[in-house]
Amino acid sequence: MALFEADLPPMTTSIGHATADGIWVQGYDLAQELMGEVDFGGVFFLLVSGRLPTLGESRLFNAVLVALADHGLTPSALAARLTFTGAPEAIQGAVAAGVLGAGSEFLGVFENAGRMLRRAGPIPDDDDQALQRLAVGIVDSYRSRNQRLPGFGHPFHKGGDPRVVRLLGLAREHDLCGPHVRLMLRVESLATSSSGKPLPLNAGGMCGALLCDLGIDTAALRGVAVVSRAAGIVGHIAEEARAPIGRALWYMAERETHYQPRRGPHAPGAEQEDDRG
């Protein structure tokens, strides 16, 4: 055992450390240099990137967090409210229930879009034709596998996601439209549905591209979305506590869902099968 322990590499962290008279986060004194001086978005950026953002980066990163904070009674909000209905004494369980569904359909688009862009390889800066070829390659690759492009289309914003317009405007205002955003916009010009209709870029896709340009590690992209939506979920739970709808949702599901057995003597067509037998 001693030999095994001697072979272990030293364990280090730069995230946080506490002493008898201070708390340190990424090399900054939490109480003196961050609290009251840097907003939560800036500290979150510091935690995932290792540096404080510039003024423009801070404004854009905070806008990304705001963009996904809430979108109404989405599956994540419903999961949180219904879990709170069953266990109101454990709000952490309801928050967890709301974010556990972060995947390809909801919240995971940040990561999926970022991986798509970063898998494309080096993105040319001043070569429009090379950038177009890269975009064509991405679209053709997904079409050949019959897979949906991550970050495109929206169940409600058929004509375009208003958050994309705002985020793109902020990025241009602060000169933060980097190569990943430029490539994503080229992909958007080629993205179409199976019926041939154009697929507009959604907020998840734009946020994924922006975060890539801000240097956020791919592994952390979905985490940014989860932190953003967690704020909205806590808001839903706070409302559920004072104006509950969880039981109404449960009763509505019971009322509107019809039991239909697939097997047994009461299954549809069972009598006909018996007659033929």
Q: How many CA atoms lie within 13 A of 251 on its CB side?
A: 5
pLDDT for residue 274 is more than 60: no
Q: What integer pLDDT is reported at residue 276 of this predicted model?
A: 41
Q: What integer pLDDT is reported at residue 5 of this predicted model?
A: 62
Q: What integer pLDDT is reported at residue 155 of this predicted model?
A: 59
Over residues 92-111, mean pLDDT: 89
* Residue 159 pLDDT grade (very low, low, confident, very high; cuts 50, 70, 90): low
Q: What integer pLDDT is reported at residue 239 of this predicted model?
A: 97
Greater confidence (126 vs 274) lies with 126
* Residue 156 pLDDT grade (very low, low, confident, very high; cuts 50, 70, 90): low
Q: List pLDDT tens digits, range 194-248.
A: 777 888 999 999 999 999 999 999 999 999 999 999 999 999 999 999 999 999 9
Q: Does domain 75-251 have CATH number 3.30.9.30?
A: no
pLDDT for residue 105 is more than 80: no
pTM of the model: 0.87
The full set of domain ranges for the chain reads 12-52, 75-251
Q: How many CA atoms lie within 13 A of 66 on its CB side?
A: 12
Q: What integer pLDDT is reported at residue 277 of this predicted model?
A: 40
pLDDT for residue 275 is more than 70: no
Q: List pLDDT tens digits, range 23-79.
A: 999 999 999 999 999 999 999 999 999 999 999 999 999 999 999 999 889 899 999
Query: Under a CB-based contact definition with an 8 Å cutoff, are residues 228 and 65 in contact?
Result: yes
Q: What integer pLDDT is reported at residue 126 of this predicted model?
A: 80
pLDDT for residue 157 is more than 70: no
